[in-house]
Each structure stands twice: as C-alpha cells, then as structure tokens.
Amino acid sequence: DSAEESFEFRAEVQRLMNIIIHSLYSNKEIFFRELVSNAADALEKLRFLSLTNRTLLSDESLDNLKIQIDFDPENRTITIEDNGIGMTKQELINNLGVVARSGTLNFLEQLKEQKDSSLIGQFGVGFYAAYLVADKVSVISKSIYDKAYVWESTADKTFTVKEYADQSIGRGTRVILHVRQDSTEFLNEHALRQLVDKYCRFITFPIYMKVESNVSDEEDSMEEDEEILDSSYSKSKTQIKNVVLNEQKPTWLRDPSEVKEDEYKALFLSLSPYSKTYLTKTHFRAEGEVEFRSILFIPERPPFDFFSEESEGSPIKLYLKRVLVSDKFAKDALLPRWLSFVLGIVDSDDLPINISREMLQQSKIVQLIRKKMIQKSLEMIRNLATSDEVEALSSEHKDTPLTKGANYSQFWKQYGKYIKLGVIEDSEYRKKLINLLRFKSSKTSEQDPDDYTSLKNYISRMKAGQNVIYYLAGESVASVRKSPLLEQLQAKDFEVLFLTEPIDEYLMQTLTEFEGYKFVDVSKENLRLGDDDKTIQSKLSKAKKRYQPLIDHLEQTLSEYVTRVKVTSRLVNTPCMLVAAEGGYSANTERILRAQAL
C-alpha cells in the first residue's frame, strides 16, 4: 500500500489548527519547546521499553539516543529529528489527527479567554504548535514495528499519509517545518541556539545542530562532543560541525551549590506550562531507608484544574536511574491531593525496573519516597511562613504583632484552599497543617491585603476572660466586617476570625479546637461571652418582660420565616439581627448549599 491516502482531521482539531494559524501571533517560539519535548518523549519511551525488553536495543544504540536540529534558509525549513520510538502508520494517523485528544476542547475554551499559545502543551495538543510558524509540516517516521511513512498537512482540514520513498532510514521521527514568511526570524543558528538555551536545558538527551565554524578559532573551541562533518572544508576558512547545544547532566543530580538560579528556572519551566515562575523550591538528596534525589517547586499559581476530577494530579516526574518512568501517576501516588500543586522531579536508583503504575502505588519504596516528599514540601511551606515571621518580629510595630510579609501571604492566597483541604482530609498531617492556616480577622489590617493572622498569633492576643476562638463566616471579608454580630465582641475587644471561602464550612467541622481553645461560631444563637454578669442578667429579664407583647407579635407575623424571636444582650448599636438556630445551619452554610443546588 504505497499509494498516498488522505484523511480528515477531527472537527475540533480543524478548529484548533485554524486558530493557531490565523490568530495566535504572540509567543510563536513555543513550537520549538513542544516539538523538542515530543522528540525527548519518544527517546524516553524507547529507553523505557528497552528496560523491560533487553533484546530490543543494543547498548550501543541506547547510548546514541539524540535529537538533531537543522535549518535550511534557502528551502525555508527547520527540521527536528529524533531516533526514538517512532510511529507506525496507524500511530501517525491516530496521534496526529484522528483520535480524540481530551485536551483539545479544553484548550479551545481557554483560548477564548486568553489568547496564550504557551499553554498548548498542557492540553496534550503540543504537536499542532508547529503551525504557529509553518504552513506545511511533514512528519517522516519509522517505528521498529512498521515501515517508514510520511505524514503531511498544510492545515487545510486534511492530511495525507504514504510510504516514505527511502526505506533505509533509521528508527525515529523527523519533523520538517516549512516556515511561513512571518516566521523567518527562526531560520538561523543564533535563534535556534537561543531556543535550546531557553527551553531545552532540562532535556537529558544531547541536542545536536550542524553549524559553521571558523577554522581559526577551532583550536580553543574544540569540544569533545563535536563531529567534523565535512573535512574538505577544513582547508578553507570554515567547516561544518555537528555540535551539542545543551548541557545534559540533569540538574537534580548536580550539587545544589553548583546550580544557578536560571537553571532551576529552566527546569521549572519544563515542568510548568501554566506558571512562569515559582514561589519557592527545594533541592535535596534523601538518604537512609530509601535513596533518591529530588527538586520540588511551588509555582507562583496553582493549575487551572484545581481539585477537578479529571485532573491528572501533580506533574511529579519519576525517574529511575535517569530514565523517566512516569509523569502521569494515578492520583495521590507520590503526593496527597492537598499537595497536588507541587511540581518536581524524583530520581531514584532503588525502584524495581519493570514497575507498573498499579505496582507503583503499592510499592514500599514509593511509600517511603512519598513520606519524605511530603516532609520536604511541608518544610518548604514552613520556611516561607517563618521567613515572614522573622520579618514581622523585627518590625517596629509592637502593638500589631501579626504575621506579615508578602511571601507567605502570596502563598496563602494561592494555596490556602489546599492547606484547608489537607486539614480536612489528612488526619496524619492535620496538626502540622493547622499551624499553616491563616485568617483575616477583626484585627487584621483592612488596608493591607497581605495581613493575615495565624491561630498561634490569635491566641497570643486573647484578652483576659476570653476562653474560646471566635469566628464568623460570610460572603466576603468586607461584608463580614460590617456584621452587627460583631458589635458586642468588639466592645470587649475580642478578636473574630473571618471565614469567607466555601471550603471553610467543612474546615470548621474538622477544626473543633486549637491548643485547648474551642472554636465558636459568632452567628449561632445563645452565644456566651464568658460573663454571665448579674447586672446584665437582671437588665435582660426586665427587657424580656417589657417586650413580650412585641415578641409575640413578631413571632406571629414572621412565623413563616423565623423559628424564634428573642430579646438579647448581644447588640450594642443595632436594634435587631438574624442569627442561626443552635444546631441549625449557619447563614453561610445555607448560602453555600443553595449555590451547590443550582
């Protein structure tokens, strides 16, 4: 079947390609990251296959895994080639056009809000980024299981597949981009080197490019990785050499003191399609029961699919002796759900070789790795928090000893929900996590959005006579701050925590006490403020008598809406307020339940 066959792209792929070609003009360079990462994936897959199937590849062949970049300004092509696993004819058809990729629609949705092409990789449709710079793409691929085929498309709703003319080519995939007029800026050595620097430092396979070099500076620039390709040039001024452009010793295997900040950043970018920088990181080597090396990052913001059911969980890449074993874990395998925002890499020599995903979760070694990773993640978060506290202590404002500083509050704003989730669902780490909670309160600054209090600080400010922790839930800090429910507490100078997130309702069901102090909802009836003072009591009973007719009248007229009407000592300036019945839902819970029912 050497004839050319034509196929239609799936409808949503057609739409995607159309948008890519016609309306994504910024950040075109990410085509390079996507295609090189596909090449690296193909090499990883081959290496992984060979771990379980020794006969597949000779050792020599394994040592020669590489990516080759080339460019041809005359024919206006850029070529990205790998000698990885390759694709069969059917895989070319399925992977590059026909089979539904779950991310395609999600990416299209995302594009409506934000025309940011750099997110394309996150949605599993990175290949099509080729069309950011090319009007025609040819993919020549040879799998060990099939002949060589060529896939081709000009993004006109169809693609073709036919047998490749030269069947003597080796295993792997060559992607040829026919560069559009508006993307000529990538058709030169300098631009491509810059892209390698920017996007490929983390790639553990050598990336080669043929470059011209002056013979005169050859002596001092001879690197061991370069091959001289055309020695006939050597007598003239220049020669062409195939040089390695990237450093391949994986960052995580190096000594932390030798790794520069921008190298961490490059590694981070390779892991994080949705965040450009990180808040903090940790680079460590675990020793003892289990040995591994790891770098973990907390991105500056969380993934889009926060807590969603389809979410793949955290992109922790697990390497076994530098071979990527998995980057798509069953949820919770390496980190619990409440740490699913942590990104990173783990490389261990201790894992059994042909480990399956299911086995991974049961493996004792994985359990040990997991434990250590949780510990290190918590340490990372705690460090953010303490660096803030140090700052707060050294500041001059003695009367407001609240936790301050942008770092932890920045973390808290993005990830507070996750910490609360941890308190709710992880009894093993609950105690540690409670210390990481932060709240807005009646004593945190109204002006400073970064001002939060920890429970520890709340307690340190408790007034004589106060023996519980007060909280009030509501829609927003601004609205809660104005609540008449606060009047009496404020008159006594008792601090009240403000809870304004939906998850807080569940949090407060778990959180019943802290260091022996109970949590008390200010919006519930029968709130006692610790002083059943005699004069108040007698005043109250007098008022009760006096207002009984009014109470009766109100209870009758409002019987559809309220359970009870009472005279209270809780108000200072406001004539009346609505409270939740003891044991009943708070107003805030009702609001949330109503929202969920919609």
Query: Which residues are part of a known binding site for ATP?
Result: 34, 38, 82, 87, 95, 102-103, 122-127, 173, 357
Pick the binder of ligand ADP from 34, 388, 495, 521 (CB under 6 A): 34
483 binds, among ligand ADP, Mg ion, none (CB under 5 to 8 A by kind): none
- Is residue 78 a contact point for ligand ADP (CB under 6 A)? no
Closest to ligand ADP by CB, 84 or 303: 84
Among 19, 125, 211, 507, interactor with ligand ADP by CB under 6 A: 125
Candidate list 9, 127, 412, 429; residue touching ligand ADP; CB under 6 A: 127
Residues forming the annotated binding site? Answer: 34, 38, 82, 87, 95, 102-103, 122-127, 173, 357
CB of 308 to ligand ADP, least distance (A): 18
Nearest distance, CB of residue 107 and Mg ion, angstroms: 12
Residue 385 lies near ligand ADP (rule: CB under 6 A):
no
Q: How far apart are CA 211 and CA 224, in angstroms?
A: 15
Residue 97 or 126: the one with the smaller Cβ distance to Mg ion is 126
One character per residue 159-198, x = contact with ligand ADP (rule: CB under 6 A): --------------x-------------------------
Of the residues 28, 38, 374, 433, which one makes contact with Mg ion according to CB under 5 A: 38
CB of 104 to ligand ADP, least distance (A): 9
Q: Which conformational region is residue 526 in: left (phi greater than 0), alpha (psi within -120 to 50 degrees), or beta? A: left
Note whether 124 binds ligand ADP by CB under 6 A.
Answer: yes
Question: Of Mg ion, ligand ADP, none, which one sits near residue 125, judging by CB under 5 to 8 A according to partner kind?
Answer: ligand ADP
- Out of 19, 67, 85, 433, which residue is the one contacting ligand ADP (CB under 6 A)? 85
174 vs 438 by CB, closer to Mg ion: 174
- Is residue 344 part of the contact set for Mg ion (CB under 5 A)? no
Of residues 137 and 507, the one with the C-beta less far from Mg ion: 137
* Maximum alpha-carbon separation in the chain: 113
Question: Bridge-partner residues for 439, per DSSP?
Answer: 453
Minimum Å distance from CB 85 to ligand ADP? 6
Q: Round to whole Å and give the CA distance between 294 and 130.
A: 32
201 burial type by CB count under 10 A (0-12 exposed, 13-18 middle, 19+ buried):
buried
Using DSSP, state whether 255 is helix, strand or coil: coil
- Strand pairing class (292-299; 172-179): unpaired
Q: Which residue matches tokens 């140090």?
A: 390
What is the C-alpha separation between 433 and 410, in angstroms, rounded? 17
Query: Are 423 and 437 contacting, i.e. CB atoms less than 8 angstroms apart?
Result: yes
- Asked if 126 touches ligand ADP (CB under 6 A), the answer is yes
CA distance 105 to 111: 10
Interface with ligand ADP by CB under 6 A: which range of 81-89, 433-441, 466-474, 476-484?
A: 81-89
CB of 515 to Mg ion, least distance (A): 50
> Considering only 122-130, 214-222, 456-464, 477-485, which stretch makes contact with ligand ADP by CB under 6 A?
122-130
Residue ranges with strand state E in 52-179: 67-72, 77-82, 134-142, 148-153, 158-163, 172-179
95 binds, among ligand ADP, Mg ion, none (CB under 5 to 8 A by kind): ligand ADP
Task: Give the strand pairing for 323-326 and 316-320.
Answer: antiparallel
Cα(358)–Cα(329) distance, integer angstroms: 9
Does residue 42 touch ligand ADP according to CB under 6 A? Answer: yes
Can you tell me which of 84, 86, 103, 126 binds Mg ion, judged by CB under 5 A? 126
Strand intervals (E) in 384-543: 440-441, 468-473, 496-499, 513-514, 517-521
Q: Which of 16, 30, 39, 133 is close enough to bind ligand ADP by CB under 6 A? A: 39
Tell whether residue 270 is a contact of ligand ADP (CB under 6 A): no
| Distance in Å, CB of 56 to ligand ADP, minimum | 16
Can you tell me which of 19, 57, 69, 84 binds ligand ADP, judged by CB under 6 A? 84
Q: How far apart are CA 492 and CA 480, in angstroms?
A: 18
Q: What is the dihedral of CA 567, 569, 571, 572, to 10 degrees?
A: 130
Other C-beta atoms lying within 10 Å of the C-beta of residue 231? 9
Integer Cα distance of 78 and 138 in angstroms: 11
Give the closest residue to 513 by CA, choosing from 414, 389, 446, 430. Answer: 430
- Selected range binding ligand ADP among 1-9, 32-40, 368-376, 380-388, rule: CB under 6 A: 32-40
The rounded distance, in Å, linking the Cα atoms of 47 and 437 is: 44
Which residue, 37 or 414, has its beta carbon nearer to ligand ADP?
A: 37
CA distance 450 to 440: 9
Number of residues that this document lists for the chain: 598
| CB-CB contact of 171 with 5 (8 Å) | no
Applying CB under 6 A, the residues found at the interface with ligand ADP are 34, 38-39, 41-42, 82, 84-87, 95-96, 124-127, 173
Applying CB under 5 A, the residues found at the interface with Mg ion are 38, 126
